Structure 1
Amino acid sequence: MRIFSTPAKTLKMAAARKTVSRLENDIEKFRFECNWEKVLELVKGIKTKTPALETLGHLALGEAELELHLLQYPPTHQNIELARKELSNAKHHLQQAAKTSNKHAVKTEAQFLLAKLYYATGDYDDALKFLEKAHPEEISVQETSPARLKMLAESYAIKGMCLECLNNKSGHKHNKKPDKKEKEMEILACYEKAGDLALLYLQRVDQKNAGANVSGSSSLGGSSHMAGPVLETAVQKAPLLRIQEGKLDEGIDRFRTILKAVEVRTSQTMRATVARELAEVLLRGVCMHHYTPPSAEGSILSSLKDERSGSLKSSGSSFANLRPIASRGTLGKPKMYSTESIFVPKNVEEEALLLLLISELQVNRDVVLSRHKEHSESRKHTFLNATAVYDLLAITLVRRAQYNMLADTLDRTMKFSFEEFHMWFQFGLALASAGRHARALRVLRECSRMEPKNHIVLLEAAKICYDTLELIDDGIEFCQKAVAAEGNPAAVSRGYLMLGMGYGQKAHEVTIHKERQDYQKKALQALNKAYLIDSQDYTILYHTALQLALSRQIPEALQKVRGALKLNADDLNSLHLLSLLLSAQKQFSEALNVIEVAANQYPDKISLLFTKIKLEEVCLGPEEALVTCKQLLNCWKQTYDASLRTDEVVRGTGLIEKVTSDKRSLAQMHISEFSDRDSGSVQNSLAASRVEQALSEVGASSTESTIPRQGSQFVWNIQARIWLTIAELYLLLDKPTEARACVQEACAIFPLSHQVMFMRGCVHEHREAWSEAKNCYDSSLSFNPTHIKSLQNLGRVLFYQENYQLAEKVLRDAVNIDPTAHMSWINLGKVLEAQGEYESASDCLLTGLQLEATSPVQPFSIVSKTF
């Protein structure tokens, strides 16, 4: 029996050694992969009593418990008490490993981990003692393993954090050095050393992982490697400390150095955070005139040469097209990208935008989409990171007026922004700024559902309904919700103001007299409620005056507009309205003085100049008004000619320059200050303007004699309106030939405009060519059926042609559209008189004379409605 006992015992011992060796390798493998759950599973399943394995088990168990705790609760001041309670078992295991280990490497690792644990529990003195015992400065960076390299990096980070915490405690024994500057430099040096080693560690891990893939081995799970909260804090701390010390340029250079390190999969999240922080610093702290672009000199970029391959593979890197370089003799530094053929930003916004787009790509990829409860914390964390990036992107893109790009960017956030009001509201505002109003309204409706009492959302939606989409009923509904919601009195006052504006627009839209009166009454009631809440808001008084003016309550309107000017003497719209009200009272000289003052203050407001021309026509005669028109044409050339030449260049650069302070569309401008419209149908006028603009462009492009106009249609519309005004004055001077030439100039710009057709009809009517005049007025009304002047003149032409029944029908339509247009009543009275209906004719003529007594030189509707 003894013959066979020795070999059996030998085989048993060999099998035990093999088991121990396999367990050691598995533990080290999972420690390297930072797979702490698997480490705990292996260590707790160890049944052998081998001393070497027992020491490793203590070390691995303590490290796993510490790392899992720190991943869930980062080492911050708020988590100190929790760490002291939950890390007692990890502390025991690490102390046992430090005492029982005969290996210097294992003992050093245990001391590093104990220093990390003491830092987490707030025992900074003990943490520094263990770091001094471990002597991190004696460890060779070249020869150490990635796991020990990570511990070495963490040791410098923890030393810096401990010194910083102790430095903040006055009277502590570590504050013996009188030179505060020297202590700050030591802390900064620790953070920078830790940051360099952390990046080097991540590069080596990725290189080892890539080597395993090349050799046919299974992947080491590179994507699961994490720098951890300690190293992430250290990487970000160094540049921030320099900035706090007032060394902004040095802090920015440190940020850029971190970003120049060769990217690996495990550093992408950290790089995204650093890129976002640098972008925030650039946007908030760097003046455009004192900006220093990144250096393109390769000499300042040192790197550590990789002994095995000399290059790193950066799988999935956004900088994969860049070539990493290596320099000899630079120990402890990460490998850096070469600066050859690299894009260098030229200004602050360019660099910030580049950084934020890189960050946006990463956070969009990392965000958690699962709605399960177990993922709620990680989902919240990743969403906050994404929100920070997108908020900075909004600031950057808005500065460059890139609203479409911002809207498209925020559109990508909707997949993870379920029930997240902030992102939805940002998206809605971006869509509105980009001119995509229909979708913006849908998004704002969703925002209103999330926060039903948010006044800003409701009023912004109402503004879009009123100003662009002409959904007046929907706008009124939003305003009613705003005034019903309790909250800030200023917001409620603004809600009543916009509610009054909505009712006023509704009154302008309907054709039934009683309905119009009801809406006018509701508008005034809402405006009065707004004034009772906020009597210092001049816009409330202005809109009240405008509503009273449209109702032809001229004395009351004058009182209100003068009250508005007392609160804000420089308000453009109040000055314009005051001038029109004075002209309605036939105080033309006073009105002209007011409009001249306003025009001097706002020389680029074309609507003021057109009103000034009308007043000069009445006060000084057509000749003087014609001189002003010629000056206006020269002013247009000086102001806008250069902008037309550079329009394509500006668009090519992606920058939208403000040619004028008015950003409304051409269709809207047709029905505001550039329109003679005193009709009541806003929607018809909008549709007419859009159709005629499109047809004018098609007609211009298909006609050999007419060259399509390049540049802003807004600018060309101004010139066309000037030519038509000059034509009108020439007709008053009995110069139809010159008037026809001016109409031809306007026709070259917008050949199918209803205003051009109307003025062409006026020229024919002046020559008593009734048939041609009738055809022109019919053409004008085919584009805009609510153009009052076309209806009035058509009725007059039909009267001259003795077509009394059709003339009566046309003029009654004009009266129904706008019952305050005095010429409609006067012409209708003449037609009825010709038909022998003397009583009705007398009533119409009397009504027309009464309205003429309160009629301004321009319709009150040309005054802007400020939202």
Structure 2
Amino acid sequence: MAGKSRSYRIESEIEKSREESNWKKVIDLAEQLKLRSPNSEYLATFLIGEGKLESFLEEYPPIDANISKARTGLTEAKRFLVNTASEPGKKAGVMLDSYLLLGKLHYAMGMYEDSLNYYNQAELQTLTEKQLPSRSLRIVAESYAIKGMCLEKVPPSSSSKYKQAEWDEQRIKCFELAGDLTLLYLQEQDKLQQQPTINTSTGSYSPQPPNPERQIGPVLETALQRAPILYIQAGKLQSAVTRYRTMLSAVESSATQSLRLTLTRQLAEVLLRGVSGTNDVSSSLRKSNPASNKKLTQIQNSGADSPWKPRKYTGFNLFIPRNENEEIILLLLISEAMAVRDAVLSQSPEFKEARIHAYDNATAIYDLLTIALVRWGHADLLHESFERAMKFSFEEPHVWMQHALCLVTMGQYAHALSILKEVTKLLPTKVIPCLLAARICYEQLNQVNEGLEWSSQALSREMSSPQSLLSRCHLYVGIGYSLQAAAIHLKQEKQYLLSSAIESFH
């Protein structure tokens, strides 16, 4: 009886370790289980194979660059899993999981057809949608994602349109299922990490914060992003929009915070491609929020028709855009908030790569915000965004230039000129900032002499570094001389300035 109790305790520890991806401990406990419970031999063998596969892939993710290492480093894991993908393994309840992990293993080894064969043996496409433990959710999510990626690597042999359409549909279905399961898995992971932990010394408990270092890996990242991209490539923009909305309405988990930035920006880009500004999106969004008439905001499983759907945000006081214009602005403002949150302010060399990555993300968002907000006359809102961007745009001329253009649009010419002066220092060879400063001086500030100085500086830069703006530079210099001549009353000096203007115009 004590032996049985000890075996149950080991199995419980194994499940906990699998949930935590502690594969070294899983292997050690499986070895103990094999010794203490001969009836659990195939279960222990499966767990050892799983542990060896996952620990290897944590060090060498399943990408093309690691295929050769996987072919030599996964032979032992393959031997264990092939052993349990059998009738005795079926009796032990591990045959299906063995097939799924063998599919993953062969994908890592670059054997895509073999991987598909294992998924066909597992009858992956006919699995019953039922509630699964966290580890099983991940295995199934990865299986659908890998099957989709294998299908992309092994296109249909037939050239018929029917086969091609069937192949496209199967790929998208795999990635959509994988994406839903991934979101659900990550939500479950957050729930597990936030469960109260009993403190025996004080008798109190407190929720543990989510582990920010948890990485979802390249397979699940692909699962989340691939389906809408395939819709876009097929020209089905509305389907892509619907898919993006579905993913973004899912309850956020700690592991998807950075990915959410990418998804919101991509959805805004898709909407900007063909937005009419009149499409009513509120009805389509409300369809995915059936509890929108309830009084208090709450989180519920709005995919109640399927246990494989992630939980979604629903509630009465959720803001729902009235049209696509509002939706685009909302998406970009959310993206900006996340980009500002992730901005790296330190100028230390060790943070250079992270700083550049965060800045590039932010710049892409500010460019989209510029297109959207200026098109609809919201330059003041754009100006607020650029003011926030200044704190992490040290010596970054692109954002400074955009800020200056925004100020020009708002009529704040003196402020725009002061920023353009900084831009000309950051871009010592560029002609455009000098010409823009000259135009502001001529047209808005009545500073003709300073405008002529900027025009002459632009001409000098064009002569030393040609940018196909020579005629424009001469034009601005000529305008400067003309304006000076108009303000001069001395005949000789006036004639000199006019002749200089004519010479520049020629």
TM-score normalised to structure 2 length: 0.80
Per the alignment, residue 84 of structure 1 pairs with 67
Deviations 1:35-67 (CA, angstroms, capped at 9, x unpaired)? xxxx67x799x7997585897566445424424
* Pick aligned residue for 2:426 from 450, 458, 462: 450
Q: CA deviation at 1:399?
A: 0.9
- Determine the C-alpha separation between the residues in 1 that align with 2:189 and 2:237: 33
- Which AA in structure 2 matches 1:507? A
| 1:302/1:335 contact within 8 Å kept | no
- Which of 145, 157, 162 lines up with 2:133 in the alignment? 145
Distance (whole Å) between structure 1 residues aligned to residue 101 and residue 17 of structure 2: 17
Q: Judge which range, 419-428 or 485-494, deviates more.
A: 485-494
Matched-pair contact (CA < 8 Å) for 1:66–1:90: no
Q: How far off its partner does 1:397 sit? A: 0.4
Please give the secondary structure, in 1, of the residue aligned with 2:281.
Answer: coil
| Separation in 2, partners of 1:420, 1:125 | 48
**Counterpart residue number, 2:39:** none
The residue number in structure 2 matching 1:605 is none
- Which residue of structure 2 aligns with residue 31 of structure 1? 21
User: Structure 2: how far apart are the matches of 1:47 and 1:268?
Assistant: 34
Between the aligned partners of 1:105 and 1:302, the Cα distance in structure 2 is 38
- Residue 299 of structure 2 aligns with an amino acid whose one-letter code is P
Deviation, 1:394, is 0.9
Number of residue pairs matched?
A: 478
Identify the match of residue 201 of structure 1 among 174, 178, 185. Answer: 185
Partner-residue secondary structure (3-state), 2:205: coil
Report the equivalent of 1:410: 386
Q: Distance in 1 between matches of 2:124 and 2:71?
A: 25
1:494 corresponding residue in structure 2: 472
Query: Contact 2:195–2:207 at 8 Å: present in 1 too?
Result: no
**Distance in 1 between residues matched to 2:455 and 2:340, nearest whole Å:** 36
Secondary structure in 1 aligned to 2:195?
helix
Distance 1:437 1:297, change over 3 A: closer
1:63 corresponds to which of 54, 60, 65: 54
Partner of 2:504: 526
- Output the CA distance in 1 between the equivalents of 2:33 and 2:197: 35
Q: Structure 1 524/378 Cα, relative in aligned 2: closer, same or farther at 3 Å?
A: same
More moved, 253-262 vs 195-204: 253-262
TM-superposed CA distance for 1:471, in Å, is 3.6
78, 83, 88: which one pairs with 1:95?
A: 78
- Counterpart of 2:145 in structure 1 is 157
Indicate if the aligned counterparts of 1:298 and 1:338 stay in contact, CA closer than 8 A: no
Distance 1:203 1:43, change over 3 A: closer
Q: Are 1:232 and 2:210 matched, yes or no?
A: no
Change (3 A) 1:298 1:284: closer
CA distance in structure 2 between the aligned counterparts of 1:156 and 1:399, rounded to whole angstroms: 41
Q: Name the stretch that deviates more: 332-341 or 175-184.
A: 175-184
Q: Which residue of 1 aligns with 2:38?
A: none
Q: 2:300–2:313: 8 Å Cα contact kept in structure 1?
A: yes
C-alpha deviation, 1:203, in angstroms: 1.6
Alignment of 1:821-836 (within 5 A): none
Q: Distance in 2 between matches of 1:110 and 1:481?
A: 71
Q: Is the contact made by 2:190 and 2:210 (CA closer than 8 Å) also made in structure 1?
A: no
CA contact (8 A) 1:466 1:472 kept: yes
What's the CA shift for 1:502?
1.8
Residue equivalent to 2:370? 394
Q: Is the 8 A contact 1:458 1:478 kept in 2?
A: yes
Q: Label 1:166 to 1:389 Cα distance change in 2 as closer, same or farther (>3 A).
A: same
Report the alpha carbon displacement of residue 193 of structure 1 after superposing the two structures with TM. Answer: 1.1
* Partner Cα separation in structure 1 for residue 430 and residue 105 of structure 2: 47
Instruction: Give the equivalent residue in structure 1 for 2:400.
Output: 424
Which structure has the bigger radius of gyration? 1
Residue 470 of structure 1, aligned match among 441, 446, 459: 446
- Compute the displacement of 1:298 (Å): 5.7
Identity of aligned residues (%): 34
**Which AA in structure 1 matches 2:297?**
L
Q: What is the CA-CA distance between 1:341 and the residue it aligns to? A: 4.2
Tell me the distance in 1 between the aligned counterparts of 2:318 and 2:357.
33
For 2:172, the equivalent position in structure 1 comes to: 188
Contact 1:63/1:90 (<8 A) preserved: no
Q: What CA distance in whole angstroms lies between the structure 2 residues aligned with 1:511 and 1:118?
A: 87
Query: Contact 1:119–1:158 at 8 Å: present in 2 too?
Result: yes
Which of 128, 132, 138 does residue 116 from structure 2 map onto? Answer: 128
1:542-596 residue CA offsets vs partner (Å, 9 max, x unmatched): xxxxxxxxxxxxxxxxxxxxxxxxxxxxxxxxxxxxxxxxxxxxxxxxxxxxxxx
- Whether 2:299 is the aligned partner of 1:324: answer yes
Q: Which residue of 289, 296, 316 corresponds with 1:340?
A: 316
Gaps of 5+ in 1: 1-12, 33-38, 304-320, 529-867
Distance change (3 Å), C-alpha of 1:185 and 1:171? closer
Q: Is 1:269 aligned to residue 258 of structure 2?
A: yes
- Per the TM alignment, residue 89 of structure 1 is displaced from its structure 2 partner at its CA by 5.3
Distance apart, 1:130 and its partner CA: 3.2
Match of 1:505 among 451, 465, 483: 483
Classify 1:110/1:444 alpha carbon distance in 2 versus 1 (closer, same or farther; 3 Å).
farther
- 2:416 equivalent in structure 1: 440
Counterpart-to-counterpart distance in 1, 2:140 and 2:290:
21
Deviates more, 1:410-419 or 1:133-142: 133-142
How far did residue 354 of structure 1 move?
Answer: 0.9
Listed as ranges, the gaps of 5+ residues in structure 2 are 35-43, 199-203
**Do the aligned partners of residues 29 and 151 (structure 1) sit closer, same or farther apart at CA in structure 2, a change above 3 Å counting?**
closer
Q: CA deviation at 1:491?
A: 0.8
* Pair 1:286-2:275 in alignment: yes
Moved more, 251-260 or 234-243: 234-243
Partner amino acid, structure 2, of 1:477: E
- Residue identity opposite 1:162 in structure 2: C
Partner of 1:337, secondary structure, is strand
Q: Deviations over 1:788-840 (max 9, x none)?
A: xxxxxxxxxxxxxxxxxxxxxxxxxxxxxxxxxxxxxxxxxxxxxxxxxxxxx
Between the aligned partners of 2:30 and 2:162, the Cα distance in structure 1 is 55
* 1:223 match: secondary structure: coil
Do the aligned residues in 1 keep the contact of 2:14 with 2:30 (CA within 8 Å)? no
User: Residues 27, 262 of structure 1: CA spacing in aligned structure 2 closer, same or farther, 3 A cutoff?
Assistant: closer
**Whole-Å Cα distance in 1 between the matches of residues 110 and 348 of structure 2?**
35
Q: Deviations over 1:747-768 (max 9, x none)?
A: xxxxxxxxxxxxxxxxxxxxxx
Q: 1:21 to 1:202 in 2, by over 3 A?
A: closer
State the alpha-carbon separation in 2 of the partners of residues 96 and 85 from structure 1: 18
- State the distance in 1 between where 2:93 and 2:455 align: 72
Structure 1 residues 423 and 243: CA distance shift in structure 2, 3 A: same
In structure 2, do the counterparts of structure 1 residues 298 and 502 end up closer, same or farther at CA, with 3 Å as the change threshold? Answer: closer
Q: Is the 8 A contact 2:181 2:310 kept in 1?
A: yes
| Contact 2:129–2:306 (Cα < 8 Å) also in 1 | no
Q: CA separation of 1:277/1:48 partners in 2, compared to 1, >3 Å: closer, same or farther? A: closer
Moved more, 376-385 or 209-218: 209-218
Cα distance in structure 1, aligned partners of 2:483 and 2:93: 82
Query: Residues 17-56 of structure 1: matches in 2 within 5 Å?
Result: 27-28=17-18, 30-31=20-21, 50=32
- 1:316 is matched with which residue? none
Given that 1:462 and 1:476 are in contact with CA atoms closer than 8 Å, whether structure 2 keeps it comes out as yes
Q: TM-score, normalised by structure 1?
A: 0.49
Instruction: Note the C-alpha offset of 1:23.
Output: 8.5
2:258 and 2:467 map into 1 onto residues whose CA distance is 45
The structural deviation recorded for 1:396 is 0.7
Structure 1 CA distance for aligned equivalents of residues 421 and 96 of structure 2? 62
Q: CA deviation at 1:462?
A: 1.8
Give 1:622-637 correspondences, 5 Å limit.
none
Cα displacement string for residues 514-563 of structure 1 (whole angstroms, at most 9, x for unaligned residues): 544443333232222xxxxxxxxxxxxxxxxxxxxxxxxxxxxxxxxxxx
- Give the Cα–Cα distance (whole angstroms) in 2 for the partners of residues 121 and 420 of structure 1: 43
Partner amino acid, structure 2, of 1:203: Q
Residue identity opposite 1:495 in structure 2? C
Q: In structure 2, what is the equivalent of residue 853 of structure 1?
A: none
Q: Find the residue that maps to 2:309 and give its secondary structure.
A: coil
- Which residue identity is paired with 2:157? G
